[in-house]
Amino acid sequence: MRQKIVVANWKMHKDFGEGLQLATRVIQMLHKSVEHAVQVVLLPPFIHLDAIRKLLPTSGHIHIGAQNCHQHAFGAFTGEIAAPMLRSVGTNFVLVGHSERRNYLGEGSALLAQKMTVALMSGLRPIFCCGESKQTREAGHQEFFVKKQLATSLFHLSVAQIAQIVIAYEPVWAIGTGSTPAPTQVQAMHHSIRSTIAHKYGERIAQSIPILYGGSCDAQNARTFFACPDVDGGLIGKASLEAESFVSIVNSLE
């Protein structure tokens, strides 16, 4: 059975005090309500990583992750954070390829391939984001587009490496817009992603990789998306900034 995972992507929100308050509340609520079969990953800004890690329970079902890492393990890259540095403070996961970094910072497939490699070599579990724009969807090219994203950023990985990753499908046109695809559209894309992985690495590996949905997923619609057979959890943005709404989403996955 594939892991069930819900990821909280705080993006560039919450100062130090606010972040500790939110993390504390989420952890308290999850401790009371969630079966340990659901893995929860908190992705706060870098300033919170060490402090929130110290709040995590010993049960091992709540993890800390980073929203980004540099493509090199060390060097003269002012202002950047290396994957080994993240691992050294107890970080378990790292987000790679989020559409906001692709769009605003120009991160392309070759760069993301490097990030995937350095993350895995540093002991981090990467969450690789993929998804199409509104224009690509309207042209009917969404499956081809996402397959290309997967091939150009992931297919250099070995079987052992690909088995460690998480994939998050995030249609760009649904992120932070309030527009959501139909569950049938989400399932179709998740099935396409899994089939693409199977074609390269085999059905056993493809069936083991969690594929999350992200894009205006909230407490009201999460259960509908999570009911899709190839949806194994969610990458949650805005709705993760309130403890009650985020925990409600996590509970929807049980």
Catalytic residues: 98, 170
Calpha distance 192→102 (Å, rounded): 22
Contact 193, 173 (CB under 8 A): no
Distance in angstroms (rounded) separating the CA atoms of residues 80 and 68: 9
**Largest interatomic CA distance in the chain:** 48
- Nearest 5°: phi and psi at 104? -85, -30
* 79 DSSP 8-state letter: T
Are the beta carbons of 39 and 5 closer than 8 angstroms?
yes
How many other C-beta atoms can be found within 10 angstroms of the C-beta atom of residue 225? Answer: 26
